[in-house]
Structure 1
Amino acid sequence: MRILIIEDEKPAANLLIKLIKLHYPAAQIFGNLDSITKSVQWLSTNSHPDLIFCDILLADGISFEIFEKVHLSTPVIFTTAFDQYAIKAFQVNAIDYLLKPIDPKDLARAVDKYKANRIPSLLEIDVLKSLLSHNNPSYKSRFLVKFGDKIQSVPVDQISFFYSEERVTFLQTYEGKKYVIDHTLEQTEAQVNPADFFRINRKFLCSMKSIDGIFAYSNSRLKVKLKNCPDQDILISREKVSDFKSWLDQ
Structure 2
Amino acid sequence: MKVLIIEDESLAAEQLINLLYKYDKNIIVLEVIASVKNAVKWLKNNEKPELVFMDIQLADGVSFDIFDKVELTSPVIFITAYDQYAIRAFKVNSIDYLLKPLDFDELKTAVDKFKNSKQSSVNQDIIEKFKNMLTNNYKNRFVIKVGEHIRPINIEQINYFYSFEKATYINTSENRNYVIDYSLEQAEALIDPTLFFRINRKYLISLASILDIVSYSNSRLKIKLVNSDKNDIIVSRERVNDFKKWLDR
Q: 2:62 aligns with which of 128, 134, 154?
A: 128
Structure-2 residue corresponding to 1:217: 216
- Does the CA-based 8 Å contact 2:169-2:179 persist in structure 1? yes
Mapped pair 1:242 → 2:172: no
Q: CA RMSD in A?
A: 3.7
Structure 2 letter corresponding to 1:167: K
Structure-1 residue corresponding to 2:136: 137
How far does residue 127 in structure 1 lie from its aligned partner after superposition?
5.3
Q: Distance between the aligned counterparts of 1:242 and 1:207, measured in 2?
A: 17
Are the structure 2 counterparts of residues 149 and 134 from structure 1 closer, same or farther at C-alpha, using a change threshold of 3 Å?
A: closer
Are the structure 2 counterparts of residues 247 and 122 from structure 1 closer, same or farther at C-alpha, using a change threshold of 3 Å?
A: closer
Structure 1 letter corresponding to 2:237: R
Structure-2 residue corresponding to 1:78: none
How far does residue 110 in structure 1 lie from its aligned partner after superposition?
2.5
State the percentage of identical aligned residues: 41
Structure-2 residue corresponding to 1:229: 228
**Which blocks of at least 5 consecutive residues in structure 1 are unaligned?**
1-70, 76-105
> What CA deviation, in whole Å up to 9, does each residue of 1:99-158 have, x standing for no partner?
xxxxxxx989833565478987887269538x9696840110000100111111100011
Structure-2 residue corresponding to 1:110: 40
How far does residue 212 in structure 1 lie from its aligned partner after superposition?
0.5
Alignment of 1:35-114 (within 5 A): 110-111=40-41, 114=44
Are the structure 2 counterparts of residues 210 and 168 from structure 1 closer, same or farther at C-alpha, using a change threshold of 3 Å?
A: same
- Does the CA-based 8 Å contact 2:219-2:237 persist in structure 1? yes
Q: Distance between the aligned counterparts of 1:223 and 1:170, measured in 2?
A: 21
Q: Distance between the aligned counterparts of 1:188 and 1:109, measured in 2?
A: 28
Q: Distance between the aligned counterparts of 1:122 and 1:215, measured in 2?
A: 39
Are the structure 2 counterparts of residues 149 and 128 from structure 1 closer, same or farther at C-alpha, using a change threshold of 3 Å?
A: same
TM-score (norm 2): 0.51
Structure 2 letter corresponding to 1:217: Y
Are the structure 2 counterparts of residues 113 and 175 from structure 1 closer, same or farther at C-alpha, using a change threshold of 3 Å?
A: same
